[in-house]
Amino acid sequence: MREAWSDALVTSFREVMNRLSHIAPRVLAMLTLILLGWAVAGLASRLAVRLSRVVDLDARCARWGLTAGLARSGLAQLPSLAVGRLIFWTIFCVALLMGIEALEMPATAGLVAGVIRFLPNLVIATLVWTAGWLLANFMAQAVLIAAVNAQIAFAPLIAGAIRWLVLIFAGAAVLTQLGIAREMVLLTFGIAFGGSVLALALAFGFGGKELAREILESRLRKEDQNDDHMTHV
């Protein structure tokens, strides 16, 4: 009884130690890779920021209007710091992938290959989202200015609706590109978009009949309305 208990204990301990001896170097390798990656990413990031400052990237971007463009899009960050961060996260993500691959676990087998295969889609999706984001901000701003200049009430509401419409459209395009629930996205987007347009048309047709008439009349009789005896130039 005692021997059997002792054997089971020893065997179990040996197996665990055996497995640990197999896994430990891999875990150590993973930690080393991640730590090394973090250190290299930090160094490269700092180097990139310094180099960017040496070549006066911030001032150049300000002159070219890139800084203002990023600020308009909500990225109120100096371009040199943005470059540094981009480099840091790129290197760190690569190191992280290498670390996970070093584990050689069945669950992570082929992860790097899969990520690399997925990378083009990810890049395209990022570009689509960036373009959609910029376009949404640009269009919302244009609509807001035009609506306020036309003295239309609820101008921010209209501009916000335009921004979300473009963002939702870009989001749907991104999900489709990534292949995430493609059918569901298409169906949801189609139903939501078509339904919204129909609802708006009905609401405007029935509820805002008078308003529609007023808008059309004011448009068509613009000359009568703008009868101010003034010229600007």
Partner 1 sequence: MVEPIGDADLLTDGDLRAVAALGSVDVLVGVPARNQSRSVTHVLEVVRTGLTTALADRKSAVVVLAAGFQDETLDAVKGWAASRPSQPPVCCVRIAGPPSRSRVMLGLLDILRRLESPACALADAGLVSLTPETLRCLVQPILAGEADYVSPAYTHTVAEGTLTTNLLAPMCRALYGRRIQQLLGGCAAVSQRIAARLLDTHASPGDPTDDGLEMRLLIETLASGERIVEVHAGRKTLDAGLTPPDLATTLAQTVGPFFRLMDRYREVWSEIGGSVSVPRIGEPPSILPEVGEVQLDRMVRGFRLGLKDLLPIWEQVLQEETLGLLYPLGLLSPDEFVFPVEHWARVAVDFAVASHERRLPRGHLPRALTPLYLGRVAAFLRETQGASPARIVTALEAIGGAFEAAKPGLAARWR
Q: Which residues bind partner 1 (CB under 8 A)?
A: 62, 65, 68-69, 71-72, 138, 141-142, 144-149, 151, 155-156, 223, 227-233
Q: How far is the CB of 157 from partner 1 (least distance, A)?
A: 10
Alpha-carbon span 72 to 66, nearest angstrom: 10
**Which of 208, 77, 113 is CA-nearest to residue 153?**
208
3-state secondary structure of 35: helix
The DSSP symbol for 204 reads I
Q: How far is the CB of 121 from partner 1 (least distance, A)?
A: 30
Q: How far is the CB of 117 from partner 1 (least distance, A)?
A: 38
Q: Which is nearer to partner 1, 87 or 143 (CB)?
A: 143
Q: Which is nearer to partner 1, 72 or 85 (CB)?
A: 72
Q: Which is nearer to partner 1, 62 or 161 (CB)?
A: 62
Alpha-carbon span 193 to 169, nearest angstrom: 9
Q: Which is nearer to partner 1, 97 or 144 (CB)?
A: 144
**Which of 129, 139, 188, 130 is CA-nearest to residue 162?**
139
Q: How far is the CB of 222 from partner 1 (least distance, A)?
A: 9
Q: Which is nearer to partner 1, 34 or 161 (CB)?
A: 161
Q: How far is the CB of 60 from partner 1 (least distance, A)?
A: 12
3-state secondary structure of 58: helix
User: Which phi and psi angles does 71 have, rounded to 5°?
Assistant: -65, -40
Question: Residue 185 is encoded by which pair of tokens?
Answer: 């996205």
Question: Residue 177 is encoded by which pair of tokens?
Answer: 């590109």
